[in-house]
Amino acid sequence: MNGTATWRLNATDEMLHTAGETLGSARIVQVLWRFPTPVPRSALEREWRRLNRGRLSRRAAPAAVPGARRKWVAAHNGEPLHTDQRPLAGPEVQDWIDTQVRAPLPVGSASMWRLAAAPYRDGHLVSLTVPHFRCDGLGLFHAIASHEPGGRPPEGWGAALATSDLGEALGQVARALAGSAQWTARLLTDSRHRARLRTALRGAGPPAAAGSAPRFFTSAIAELDAGGWEKRARAHGGTVNSLFVEMAANLVRRHVRNGRPAAIDVGIPTSLRHGDSDGRANALVVVPLTVPGGEVRHNDLRRTREETKDLLRRTGGHSGTLVPEPLWHLLPARWAGALKAPGAQQTDVVASNFGTAPDGVVHFAGGTADSVALRTMNVPGVVPEKARLRASLCLLRTGDRMTVTATGMPDHFGDSASLYRHLDEEFAAWGLTARPWWNTTPGTMEGIER
């Protein structure tokens, strides 16, 4: 994708920027590497400098003309490299991983992202945390894999962009008018859309006060054989992704709904990114797949596969707003906040399948990771009254291994040891054997009694 749209904040970027105010928490994306051999600090310093030249180190600058969208401009990351000297052992691993994701990276600060490493066993664990408003998961992979300064305007383009805010504002108005004509026609014929819009407008106003403290999700990471996963999915008439979606739904059926028959919404992030040159911070839409509640299901995956395929086919590049996106950008904050489509936070569970980790991600800081994991976390946590989300799962393949990262509200899933056992039970029900990510001995996990 070329053009100024790449360098202007879109609706998803703006929503994630304000999530701290509207939801009481910020979304953080974390990539974790497990290296079998030590990673020199000098290699990590080189990676820090390289990342600082790329798309992760930029800030949102206001436009000079009302109506123009904000733009991304190059900036310097004020968060230094963090390295620990003392080797991690046992339950310290989970604490260290959580410490990295909890480190403050607030909107508007110079701390843009955080790279950290600590010795573990014969090698190292490495963590990179980035606020979601700055980059989505696939965008983060592209930023890591790029070995040339990228994700920012070509030389001299920034000055030209600074003078184009008037053109941007006029273009937004023109696009809003054109899009609104089609949208109005649809509104007149679609009663469900009208009802959805009325409901959203009734809720317009300041953010509701929280009734309880944010819940920081507990987390567990498991590793499985990729070939076995594919085989079990085919045996049940499904795919890698449909098996993953059904697993996510089962965790909610068993531990959140306790077998109650209410339907479950599984949030499925769909990428809208057009290759590595697409400089958008967030190029995705989260669509809800409604599946039956009730008892857990470990049988036929054909229904889940077909309904997921149909949902994604119908979704396409639909906006995350309830009005045309150019019009949405022109609305006052109060109305814009009300007229956004329900996203990941308003589903019961999110199932994010990131496919295969790119080679440029697996090979990092001069070494080759034997496994890579990715998770998204709310910091300081999810406020139950403000968000429906109760669990989030990420799936990533590295070589012949699948890595599943699960996070869940402790009210339902308990501590990390309990969450891992819940995951293990779900895998076993499908005939799969899991290994804890930070101990590859099958059937054991440091700090967790089995």
State the pLDDT at residue 148.
63
Of 54-63, 67-76, 272-281, 327-336, minimum mean pLDDT range? 272-281
- How do residues 368-414 score in pLDDT, each as one tens digit? 999 999 999 999 999 998 889 999 999 999 999 999 999 999 999 99
Contacts of residue 95, defined as CB under 8 A and 6 or more positions apart, other chains included, come to none
State the pLDDT at residue 446.
44
DSSP assignment of 265-331: EEEEEEE---STT---S--EEEEEEEE--SS---S--HHHHHHHHHHHHHHTT--SBSS-HHHHHHS
Alpha helices in 393-450 (DSSP H): 410-413, 416-429
- How do residues 326-365 score in pLDDT, each as one tens digit? 888 898 888 888 888 777 788 999 999 999 999 999 999 9
Average pLDDT, integer, range 70-82: 94
Q: Are 382 and 409 in contact (CB under 8 A)?
A: yes
118: left (phi over 0), alpha (psi -120 to 50) or beta: beta
Tokens of 92: 């310290």
In angstroms, the CA 276 to CA 256 distance is 38
Q: Are 30 and 376 in contact (CB under 8 A)?
A: yes
Q: Are 405 and 372 in contact (CB under 8 A)?
A: no
State the pLDDT at residue 440.
45
- How do residues 142-178 score in pLDDT, each as one tens digit? 999 987 665 454 445 454 554 578 888 888 899 889 8
